[in-house]
Chains A and B, each alone.
Chain A
Amino acid sequence: MLRKFVAAVLAVLIHLPGNAAEAVPASDDPVLEERVMAVGHLLRCLVCQNQTIADSHAELAVDLKNEIREMMRAGKTDQEIIDFMVARYGDFVLYKPQVKSTTWLLWFGPGVLLVLGLGTLFVKLRRRAAQIQAAELTPEQKRQAYSLLEQADGGDGK
């Protein structure tokens, strides 16, 4: 019984890495396959939205990889293929969004927020520094302070 269980667990473990691998190349031209995968890594699989089509096994991703492969065989450049996909699936298909007026907020928003935050912090600190005036104690005040501290020490000892 235990033996069977261990065997089953082992069988599952052995199969895990195989399932996690990238899609099997469909042609035997390694240079072409590398190009297909490189472009595939730039495109989002719309079925499983947080994966690229290079990583995805979804049927649509496989179809699109075939489409890319055929377009490459027909002599299309990477950019032409990406434009082809954007024309059909929209900007969302790009895994790395383009820098254009509608995506400025996305690209530069965090930076702008950081600069604003640092600026506010800087101004606040400067203001606070101006408010704190260095106050020198007179010798009389110093003597008073020391005697107070000593009293406090004595109080603690009791």
Chain B
Amino acid sequence: MTRFLWPLAIFLALVGFLAVGLNLNPREVPSPLIDKPAPQFSLPVLHKPDMTLSRDDLMGQVWLLNVWASWCVSCRQEHPLLVELAKAGVVPIYGLNYKDDRSAGLKWLNEHGDPYTASIMDADGRIGIEYGVYGVPETFVIDKQGVIRHKHIGPITPQALQEKLLPMVRELNAS
């Protein structure tokens, strides 16, 4: 009897693997930068282009680096969440305005609200490459020592915020 059940068991195992595979998101590629120092940058600030902001200016605090652009459609999806998060003042959010036009970026923030403590301009996408950015929006959680602790790819969902990002920020702030 068992010899007839074997093929069924193997088939069910295959179905199981396929079901898991179908529910994984192929866009979410684990970043090799987790637990590595955040790449250095020194970029002009969106609102004050003659000022620059560098990674070292942000040391000593837990902060989020949110990669956004005015041309990015799914950035609109997560934006209200970021605005709300900024209002709550739990964690400073810095924006990396990725491959964008300055006036378009400023206009976009005027229309949708500006959750960023500051946005820096990565006009040619160079710093994006350093951070391994491939799908805007992306959000990095960076600790007090300037180490990347988490990367969220794609728009932040309320669930990801409550279950992953905020607990992480709390934990890093406590340490």
Q: Are B99 and A90 touching (Cβ within 8 A)?
A: no
Residue from B27, B30, B33, B99 in contact with A59 in the complex, judged by beta carbons closer than 8 Å:
B99
Please judge, given known A-B contacts A47-B135, A59-B99, whether A88 and B130 are in contact too, CB under 8 Å.
Answer: yes
Please judge, given known A-B contacts A49-B26, A88-B32, whether A63 and B135 are in contact too, CB under 8 Å. Answer: no
Interface residues of A in 53-74 (CB under 8 A from B): 59-60, 63-64, 67
Of residues 118 through 175 on chain B, the ones whose CB sits less than 8 Å from some CB of chain A are: 124-125, 128-132, 134-135
B-contacting residues, A99-118, CB 8 Å: none
Which of A47, A64, A88 makes the CB contact (< 8 A) with B33? Answer: A88
B134 near A89: Cβ-Cβ < 8 Å? yes
Q: Among A64, A67, A87, A92, which residue has its beta carbon within 8 angstroms of that of B29?
A: A92
- The CA of A92 and the CA of B30, in the complex, are separated in Å by 9
Which residues between 5 and 44 of chain B lie within 8 Å of chain A, taking CB atoms? 26-27, 29-33
Q: At the interface, yes or no: A38 with Cβ under 8 Å from chain B?
A: no
Q: Are A88 and B26 in contact (CB under 8 A)?
A: no
| Cβ B29 vs Cβ A88 within 8 A | no
| Contact (Cβ within 8 A) A90 B32 | yes
Q: Which B residues form the contact surface with A (CB < 8 A)?
A: 26-27, 29-33, 99, 124-125, 128-132, 134-135
Residues of A participating in the B interface, judged by any CB pair closer than 8 Å: 46-47, 49, 59-60, 63-64, 67, 86-92
